[in-house]
Amino acid sequence: MRSIIAVLATAAGALSLSLWSSQAAATDAPALPRYQLEATLEPATHLLEVRAVVELPSAMAGQAVEFLLAAPLAVLESEPRVERLPADSAKGFSGINGSSQTMTSAGRAARYRVQLAPGASKFTLHYRGPINFGFETPAQEYARGFNETAGIIDNDGVYLAGSTLWYPYLGDTLFTFELTARSPAGWQLISPGNGSARDAEGITHWHSDAPLDELHIVGGPLTRYARAAGAVTAEVYLRKADDALAAKYLEATARILEMYRGLIGTYPYEKFALVENFWETGYGMPSFTLLGPQIIRFPFILTSSYPHEILHNWWGN
């Protein structure tokens, strides 16, 4: 994930049962770690509950594997059994909103070890706890006036990132994922890759077979707008319905995608989404951008920073 704040400054249940399967043989292991995550968000209590299956490459079969989780997340079940370790000397995540090192020093990170059975390359976890790390003023000069958080779930919305340690963090490695999530009525949840922010049953589905180095869940009580942009779906998620603003971004998205497709090649995702955040940010993630309510209403954004956000999806964020 990147921040575009510098640019702006210069410019002005049943599903859960399927997750708890027995360990896979090493011959079935993926080339990269793969997460299968089923998450439930309860904003009124800041609660996050996750059932996770972590599939590892065959080279890791039978090994002891260490990972990090946010300290408020209590492990309720695991297979095999996990052991909590001292948090010191943990290698971990470093991103735009902090790192696991800073989380550890603040007592917010927990380190675990799991011993895989011989020939096995998978482990499962069920964990739950509050995510409400609050906001801080960043040290970077370019971001003065903007706040950041390692992670938060509340009635205004959700921001979960690598720095949150909301999924088992295995270290500096790429991975793929499949996510199912449940949230309150009227909420839309956005993650990288392809899928749906909320289906007819009120469930979120996202997945990516393209490698990622960080997994986000963002969103909240949002209104979704969408239109076709060739083979891609252009999406806009706003905190308050605004047909005119959404139309501007949908048109710009379609136009910019077509321009870069002709110059570079096929866009690598099924969507590009503009997501309005509940505080001022200028972040870019694979297949979407998370911008603050003032930022998206600056008239110059559509022809300056916004094309830049879309362009990054061809080479990484």
Residue 60 sits in a domain whose CATH number is: 2.60.40.1730
What is the count of structural domains for the chain?
A: 2
What percentage of residues in the chain have a pLDDT greater than 70? 82
Residue 306 sits in a domain whose CATH number is: 3.30.2010.30
In this predicted structure, what is the pLDDT of residue 143? Answer: 47
pLDDT band per the 50, 70, 90 thresholds, residue 281: very high
- The pTM assigned to this predicted structure is 0.87
Cα separation, 64 vs 123, in Å, equals 11
pLDDT digits over 31-71, tens only? 999 999 999 999 999 999 999 999 999 999 999 999 999 99
The reply to whether 42 and 134 lie within a common domain is: yes
Expressed as residue numbers, the domain containing 262 is: 223-314
In this predicted structure, what is the pLDDT of residue 37? Answer: 99
Task: Please say which residue of 196, 216, 236 terminates a domain.
Answer: 216
pLDDT digits over 104-153, tens only? 656 789 999 999 999 999 999 999 999 999 988 766 544 444 788 999 99
The reply to whether 94 and 207 lie within a common domain is: yes
Task: Please say which residue of 216, 231, 256 terminates a domain.
Answer: 216
The reply to whether 211 and 228 lie within a common domain is: no
The reply to whether 149 and 69 lie within a common domain is: yes
pLDDT digits over 192-242, tens only? 999 999 999 999 999 999 999 999 999 999 999 999 999 999 999 999 999
pLDDT band per the 50, 70, 90 thresholds, residue 82: very high
Is residue 14 situated within a structural domain?
A: no
